[in-house]
Structure formats: C-alpha cells, structure tokens
A = this chain, B = another copy of it.
Amino acid sequence: MNEHRIRKIVAEAIEEDIWTGDITTDSVISKNERSSGEIKAKEEGILAGLPVAEQVFKEIDSDIDFESLKKDGETLRPREKIAVVSGRTRSILKGERIALNFLQRLSGIATRTDKYVKKVEDHDVKVVDTRKTTPNLRMLEKYAVRVGGGRNHRMGLYDAVLIKDNHIRSAEGIEEAVKRVRKSHMVKIEVEVGTVEEAEEALCTGADIIMLDNMSIDEMEEVVETVDGEVVLEASGNVNLENIDKVAAAGVDVISVGALTHRIRSQDISLDLI
C-alpha cells in the first residue's frame, strides 16, 4: 500500500469525528493524564488494518506509543491482545472509535475472505474481489482481501481492461471491441461473456482473461474444456459460501466474489483502558 494515502484517509476520518474538538474528553480528562489501552479480539477472525489503527493514534498525537502484539493476517482468538496503546489518556480516547472503525471493518473483510478461500483450498483457484467496494476506501479494502488470502481484481477503471456487454454491444461484437482496446502492451484484456459461444469468440480474439458471467456449472465446465488452459477463466456472479466449491470444481482459475466487500460485517474488537 501507499502509506501516503493511508495518512490522508486517516486524517480525513479524524476530521470527520473530532471536527472542532472532543468536547467530553477535553473537559473531563486533564491534559497530562496518561494511561494504556489494550486492543483485544472479542471473537475469532483474521486481523487486518493494524497499521491503519496505529496511524490513527500517531496522527492524533505523535507521542503515543503503539505496540503491536499481532500482525495483519494472523488469526485472532477471543480475548487475545492485539496491541497496547500508551500515552495521553485524551489522545487514546479520541482515537479509540476511529481506530476501531477501521480495524473492525478491515478485519471483517479479511475474515470473510479467509472463509471463502478456505472453502476452495483443495482447488487450484484464486478468490478475487470486485470494484464493489466502499467509496474512498478501496485501497484499504482490497488490502484486507489480500490479507485474508484473496487476490485483487483490477484496482479501478484505469489499470486493466474489462470489456462488458455494453462495450460489446456498442462495438458491435467482441472482436471489434477487443481490437479497439489493443492499444497497450502493458495491460491485460478481460472479456465478460454470458454464453459458451461468446466465450469461444472471446478466445479467438486473444483476450487474456475471460469472465464467465452468471454461467451454470455445466456451461463453465464446457468452457473450461474448450479453452484448455489457453487463457485465464474467471467465474463471476452470485457466488456465495454455499456454492463456491462447486464453481471451483468446474475448473475455472479465478472466482470473483462481490460479497467480499459489498457486505461488511465489523469484526468485534475492543479497546479497554487498563
């Protein structure tokens, strides 16, 4: 990740929550009171976002000491200590909710991703995310997917070509659409197809990746056989924890799962002064 952007995102989140000041803490807690707080897991899961949580406290108060006891990607057990924050009580209380908001969401994504990945670990397949991420947090959410053992699909509209139905219709055919984007030797070209015939057509155009959109398991198996390893095959659409192993068994190389980020379940993590 780019630490620069993390600092920017964190600074905005602090502005959002504190704005003109924490009127409770600044009144009740004396400026020089110091304490320590423990960040602790309250349920099982995969940790993600600890450096972001650290940055929240550092940005609020450069004198805060943040000791990480776990690393992103490690498994959390209930009541396990994740980190210890020490310094001015005011700064710890101001940063608490902001740090947890990041940490709980990112760990939630990593934990869910881990479940999907585990479900297909016997197959030679990658679980990837989509662009269905929270606006302005994509870099962090895609990082959490990687932490959870998933891989990233493209970061945005700028770093890879994905030719969808609307593009194909406008270009009047897959072939023409692919021809028009073949401008750069640096980016991969993926074509979204909905039928076995379209998949075959895409194969002929020299696409690097073919996305099988909402295909049945039977159709996918047919495409897998036809393609025979020549290009990367990505299954997409309505994949969930119940059916992902069947999709994997169809032989595709990659399975994209919108639910990795379009559903967020904050992991239960707390900060307690000690």
State which of B27, B94, B128, B188 has its C-beta within 8 Å of the C-beta of A188.
B188
- How many subunits of this chain does the assembly comprise? 6
Within 8 A of B (CB), among A160-192: 160-164, 166-167, 169-171, 177, 180-181, 183-188, 190
In the bound complex, residues from chain B placing their C-beta under 8 Å from that of A217 are none
State which of B19, B33, B190 has its C-beta within 8 Å of the C-beta of A158.
B19
Interface window among A78-86, A115-123, A135-143: A135-143
CB pair A163 B13 closer than 8 Å = no
Most interface-central of A22, A166, A266 (chain B CB within 10 A): A166
CB pair A266 B263 closer than 8 Å = yes
CB pair A17 B157 closer than 8 Å = yes
A residues in contact (CB < 8 Å) with B: 1-5, 9, 11-30, 33, 59-60, 89, 93-94, 97-98, 100-102, 104-105, 126, 128, 131-139, 142, 146, 151-164, 166-167, 169-171, 177, 180-181, 183-188, 190, 209, 232, 234, 253-254, 258, 262-266, 273
